[in-house]
Structure 1
Amino acid sequence: MQKAWVYFENGVFIEAQCFGASGTSIGEVVFNTSMSGYQEIITDPSYAGQFIVFSMPEIGIVGVNDFDKESRGAYCKGILVREYNTRFSNFRAKDSLENFLKQSNIMGLCKINTRDIVKMIKKEGAMMMIASTEISDPEILKKLLSEAPHIQEINYIEIVSTKKPYIHQYATFDFNTFAYKEPNTIKKVVAVDFGIKTNILNELTDVGIEVEVVPYSFEADVLIERFKKQEIHGIFLSNGPGDPMLLQDEVAQIKKLIKARIPMFGICLGHQLLSIAHGYNTFKLKFGHHGGNHPVKNIITGEVEITSQNHNYSVPEEIADIAEITHRNLFDNTIEGIRYKDAPIFSVQHHPESSPGPKEARKLFAEFASML
């Protein structure tokens, strides 16, 4: 390992060890509370432009494999961990996390007191940071960080979205047979890719939906015509990175879909964009929700579901004027799910597809299929 230096926006400067890609990288730092599933987290496109602090102190134990990737690449800036395990031991492992990070040009920083970093973020909020294996002078790092664009000014959707449409071929993975289940589809939807996770597509296919994935730069008029001809039966709006308020062109297209009364389901960023398109702007949370162990109350059933989460933004309480609130976060009472009163549209802030995390909320995919 080589030495690395980290400078945070609030002036905190620390020394670390680097086990991933070398160089200098700038991004927003957030923390994740999951106890497992680091490969799925690292390959979640919603982390584009961010450094992930793992509160789980031991990382690298199970290596990496081809099945646990949640996208075609990895878009986070880096990870911060307490201890990195150079030896991995798991029957599914094909390579080490270290090699995966280097191949993906992602920094891996260890020998860090991650407990202090998590406490700092909880107290002061998510902030920008710079990490380098080349520069040890805190004043130079401070200058480079101050001159770099803030994450809220960068549109990462253009980077993580697919470049051309495709049909998703798989249902969920069966760990008994170690193969993907055979699709048995009845209805068809178009999934708009703002940074979609693979297991979202698997779960949609698993409940009988054929999924055509299209780029973020979709044309609503084309989809509306296809809906009228019954070529498609609904629209799915995916998760993705960054500030939803930057995506005004996409919001304009979603407004057309709403007006056409096409059935829609949104997750995470898709949930936020639907709110904005209805006239209710999102706001940024202090440090967001990131992890696979977050309790959400289903207001409709009264059940508490443990969920997987990854978001920095939330929809406002005023949306209750036009939508029924269906889910609430039990950590801070923010809105986690809504169903619009006068349209066949519903959305959730959390990730019912898990990967990683519990699967208690996956029934939402079946609800979407039933609505179609």
Structure 2
Amino acid sequence: MQKVWLYLENGMFFEANSFGASGTSVGEIVFNTSLTGYQEIITDPSYAGQFITFTMPEIGNVGVNKDDNESSKPHCSGVIVRAYNEEYSNYRAEGSLANMLKEHNIIGICDIDTRHITKTLRESGAMMMIASTEISSKEELAKKLQASPRIEDINYIKIVSTKEAYVHKSGAWNPEKLAYNPAMMSNKKVVVLDFGVKRNILNELVESGLEVEVIPSTFSGDDLIARYEAGEIGGVFLSNGPGDPLTLTEEVAEVRKLLDKNIPIFAICLGHQMLSIAHGYDTYKLKFGQHGGNHPVANKGVVEITAQNHNYSVPDNIDEVAEITHINLFDNTIEGVKYKNKPIFSVQHHPEASPGPHESKYVFAEFADMVKESK
């Protein structure tokens, strides 16, 4: 391992070891409290532009494999862990986490006090940082960080979104030939607006009986309206994704065109936030966000355990246009809404992540039923 140096915008400076790629990387540092699923977390496109600090101290012990990736590659700025295990043991493993990070030029940082970092983020909030295996000077790192754009200055969905439309046919834990059976489909196609969609979201949409077409973030709202009115599609899904939703002015403008056309719409995470903005209710940034796999959410008196990954929330006064259906029991932020007099609903958490024991995967079936009942 080689040395790596970290500088946080609050002035904190660390020396640690690197198990990933060499180089210099800038991003926003957040922490994730999940005990398992580090590969799925690292390959979630929503982490583009962020350093992921794992509170779970031992990372790497089950290696990695191609089937557990949530996207084609990791988009995060770096990975920070207390102890990295190069020797992995799992019958599904195909390689080490270190090799995956090196392959995709992602910095891996270990042998550092992640508990101290997490407590700092809880007290001071998420912040920008820089990590380098090349620069050891605190002053030089601080200067380079100050000159770098902040996460809210970058439209990351242009980086992570697909460049060409495609059809997704695989279901959850099922290869294409088993999951995609045209005779079992609802004969209703939904279009997924890819802002950084996780693969398992697409799997769950297929499992619910929908045909799934994924299109780039450079979509046209008018084209989608025309396709719906022609009966070619039965609904639209807005995906998760990275960055500050308030930077997505062009994309939100296209979403706004869909709102009064009676098109069934379902959204998760960033898509949930974009729907709020499109209705005239701007999002706000949380102190350190919600990132983990054990967040309790109340759904009309029923407590569900959810996976979370977001730094932004929709405002409380959205109840003027939507029924609030889900509330986070950690901080009382809004986790789900259903818009009044419209076939539109959304959730902030990630029902596809299946954290157990009482989950939220039913929302995919609700969307499928809505689509099947559409014109």
2:102 is matched with 102
1:190 is matched with 191
1:302-321 aligned within 5 A? 302-321=301-320
1:76 is matched with 76
Within 2, Cα distance between the matches of 1:34 and 1:207? 27
2:366 is matched with 367
Cα distance, 1:259 vs. partner? 2.0
Cα distance, 1:356 vs. partner? 6.5
The one-letter code of the counterpart of 1:213 is: V
Cα distance, 1:70 vs. partner? 0.2
Q: Deviations over 1:34-85 (max 9, x none)?
A: 0000000000000000000000000000000011000111100111000000
1:111 is matched with 111
2:327 is matched with 328
Residues 180 and 88 from structure 1, CA distance in 2 versus in 1: closer, same or farther, beyond 3 angstroms?
Answer: farther
Does the CA contact (< 8 Å) of 1:49 and 1:156 recur in 2?
yes
1:9 is matched with 9
Q: Give TM-score, length-normalised by structure 1.
A: 0.97
Does the CA contact (< 8 Å) of 1:41 and 1:356 recur in 2?
no
Within 2, Cα distance between the matches of 1:65 and 1:46? 20
1:34-113 aligned within 5 A? 34-113=34-113
- SS of alignment partner, residue 100 of structure 1: helix
Does the CA contact (< 8 Å) of 1:220 and 1:256 recur in 2?
yes
Within 2, Cα distance between the matches of 1:167 and 1:151? 31
Identity of aligned residues (%): 63
Within 1, Cα distance between the matches of 2:12 and 2:157? 30
Q: Deviations over 1:124-179 (max 9, x none)?
A: 000000000011110000000011010000110000000010000211105xx999
- SS of alignment partner, residue 307 of structure 1: strand
- Are positions 1:143 and 2:143 aligned together? yes
The one-letter code of the counterpart of 2:20 is: G
Cα distance, 1:19 vs. partner? 0.2
Does the CA contact (< 8 Å) of 1:199 and 1:355 recur in 2?
no
The one-letter code of the counterpart of 1:107 is: I
Cα distance, 1:342 vs. partner? 1.4
The one-letter code of the counterpart of 2:216 is: P
Q: Deviations over 1:317-356 (max 9, x none)?
A: 0000110000000000000000001110000000000067
Does the CA contact (< 8 Å) of 2:225 and 2:258 recur in 1?
yes
Cα distance, 1:260 vs. partner? 1.4
Cα distance, 1:86 vs. partner? 1.0
The one-letter code of the counterpart of 2:284 is: F
The one-letter code of the counterpart of 2:79 is: I
Does the CA contact (< 8 Å) of 2:58 and 2:83 recur in 1?
yes
- Are positions 1:29 and 2:50 aligned together? no
Q: Deviations over 1:244-294 (max 9, x none)?
A: 001111111111100212110000000000000000000000000001111
Q: Deviations over 1:199-224 (max 9, x none)?
A: 00000000100010000010011111
Does the CA contact (< 8 Å) of 1:193 and 1:237 recur in 2?
yes
Within 2, Cα distance between the matches of 1:365 and 1:325? 18
Within 2, Cα distance between the matches of 1:208 and 1:135? 52
Within 1, Cα distance between the matches of 2:50 and 2:125? 14
Residues 158 and 137 from structure 1, CA distance in 2 versus in 1: closer, same or farther, beyond 3 angstroms?
Answer: same
Runs of 4+ in structure 1 deviating by more than 4 angstroms, as ranges, are 177-180, 355-359
The one-letter code of the counterpart of 2:223 is: V
Does the CA contact (< 8 Å) of 1:7 and 1:130 recur in 2?
yes
Residues 122 and 371 from structure 1, CA distance in 2 versus in 1: closer, same or farther, beyond 3 angstroms?
Answer: same
Q: Deviations over 1:76-133 (max 9, x none)?
A: 0111000000100000000000100000111100001000000000000000000000
Residues 280 and 178 from structure 1, CA distance in 2 versus in 1: closer, same or farther, beyond 3 angstroms?
Answer: closer
Cα distance, 1:235 vs. partner? 0.2
Q: State which drifts further: 347-356 or 50-59.
A: 347-356
1:354 is matched with 353
- Are positions 1:157 and 2:157 aligned together? yes
Does the CA contact (< 8 Å) of 2:53 and 2:79 recur in 1?
yes
- SS of alignment partner, residue 68 of structure 2: coil
Does the CA contact (< 8 Å) of 1:195 and 1:238 recur in 2?
yes
Q: Give TM-score, length-normalised by structure 2.
A: 0.96
Within 2, Cα distance between the matches of 1:254 and 1:178? 30
Residues 63 and 180 from structure 1, CA distance in 2 versus in 1: closer, same or farther, beyond 3 angstroms?
Answer: farther
1:338 is matched with 337
Residues 164 and 178 from structure 1, CA distance in 2 versus in 1: closer, same or farther, beyond 3 angstroms?
Answer: closer
- SS of alignment partner, residue 353 of structure 2: coil
2:202 is matched with 201
Does the CA contact (< 8 Å) of 2:27 and 2:130 recur in 1?
yes
The one-letter code of the counterpart of 1:308 is: A
Unpaired runs of 5+ in structure 2? none
1:263 is matched with 264
Residues 197 and 140 from structure 1, CA distance in 2 versus in 1: closer, same or farther, beyond 3 angstroms?
Answer: same
Unpaired runs of 5+ in structure 1? none
2:128 is matched with 128
1:233 is matched with 234
Q: What is the RMSD computed on CA atoms of the aligned residues? A: 1.4
Does the CA contact (< 8 Å) of 2:179 and 2:206 recur in 1?
no
The one-letter code of the counterpart of 2:65 is: N
